[in-house]
Amino acid sequence: MQCNTGGDAIPDSLSVSKIVTCHRCPRWLYFEGAVKFVESPGYTVCKQISYYLGKPLELEKAGIWQEIETILPSAEDATRILFEACIESCTNTSWRLPDEVDVPVESARLGIHGRVDKIFDGDEMSFAIVRSNEPPAAGVYATDRLRVACYAACVSETFGVDVDGGYVEYIPGGISRYVHPQPRDRRAMLKAIKTAKRVAAGDVPGKPMKAPCDICPHAGRCQTLPRRLSDLL
């Protein structure tokens, strides 16, 4: 982190998605501030299917597609193909039915908030987040570990219960994987929160040594921003 050029106040609370973006690259978060979020068709498909997991998908399939067409009136063939593939992948998995979906949660202590996709309110409360990408060969992606660590803190504080971890539902792969956040995940969370708050307050982040530039949509703009504090002086 290099230089506060804006002098804005540090925000009280940031969304979990911003914290995850900052973990990926603080500079990515810096650029994202000016970009309006647009939901991808792939996410719409996965999100609508996720509401029905735990029910017989073949019976629900026509209704789910109607909902997707309502949300995306100009859905293209590729969207239908993805929908069919996701239904097929998810059909043979045993899914747990949630007690609540799309639940707003927050941690005032950490200054983060979000909307958790599913809450399971059994003997031990748990939750799930829905992802629209393919799962890794084993476990979950580092960014999803961080998401779960953030949501575990938010769910815990919102409902006043201990939450051990949460599930990541990779819809295209038809897989749900449980994550039990470790101290290193919570350390990464704290670091990302701290950095994200400074970016939100106007700091210009430096370019990390290991940044995922090959998948970054801001690579063009990034080249014109100074790399380090010394470049600004």
Site of interaction with ligand SF4 (CB under 6 A): 25, 27-28, 31, 207, 211-213, 216, 218-219, 222
* Nearest distance, CB of residue 27 and ligand SF4, angstroms: 4
**Amino acid making up residue 7:** G
Distance (Å, rounded) from C-alpha 186 to C-alpha 145? 9
* Nearest distance, CB of residue 163 and ligand SF4, angstroms: 31
* Nearest distance, CB of residue 30 and ligand SF4, angstroms: 7
* Nearest distance, CB of residue 80 and ligand SF4, angstroms: 32
CB of 14 within 8 A of CB of 33? Answer: no
Nearest CB to ligand SF4, comparing residues 166 and 205: 205
The DSSP secondary-structure symbol of 213 reads G
Choose among 95, 108, 230, 91: nearest CA to 160: 108
Nearest CB to ligand SF4, comparing residues 10 and 35: 35
Nearest CB to ligand SF4, comparing residues 85 and 211: 211
Q: In Å, how far are 37, 70, 108, 148 from 145, measured between CA atoms?
A: 22, 33, 21, 5
Distance (Å, rounded) from C-alpha 17 to C-alpha 129? 12
